[in-house]
Amino acid sequence: MTWSTMSGRWINDTSVATCKGEIVPLAIAKVALKKYLAEIGAKGGKTSRRTITPAQQAAMQEARKAARLRKEQNDKDQATRGA
């Protein structure tokens, strides 16, 4: 038995309290959680399936390259200052 601070009563270890304070069997809670995670995971995939033009792709690659070069130069500068 476990004390539930949400409901203010003792509950069976095979049960879990929901955010609404309801006591439900653990197996049902796991199924609901799995369904919820699958739902929000599917939404994330939709965003990543956007299409970009070749010009946009080239600009993004150039921006990444410039950022990487800035970081490498900054790392070199810090290494020479510390030596």
Instruction: Dig out the tokens for 19 from the structure.
Output: 């955010």
pLDDT given at position 63: 97
| Judgement on whether residues 8 and 46 belong to the same structural domain of the protein | yes
CA distances (Å), 81 to each of 53, 64, 73, 74, 76, in order? 42, 26, 12, 11, 9
| Judgement on whether residues 25 and 42 belong to the same structural domain of the protein | yes
Q: Using one digit for the tens of pLDDT, what is the confidence trace for 50-61?
A: 788 999 999 999
Confidence of residue 67 (pLDDT cuts 50, 70, 90): very high
Q: Which residues contact 2 (CB under 8 A, 6 or more apart)?
A: 10, 11, 12, 13
| Judgement on whether residues 13 and 44 belong to the same structural domain of the protein | yes
| Helix-strand-coil split of the chain, %, nearest 5 | 65, 15, 25
Q: Whole domain around residue 65: which residue ranges?
A: 53-83
Task: Report how far residue 60's alpha carbon sits from residue 7's, in angstroms, rounded to the nearest whole number.
Answer: 52
Structural domain count of the chain: 2
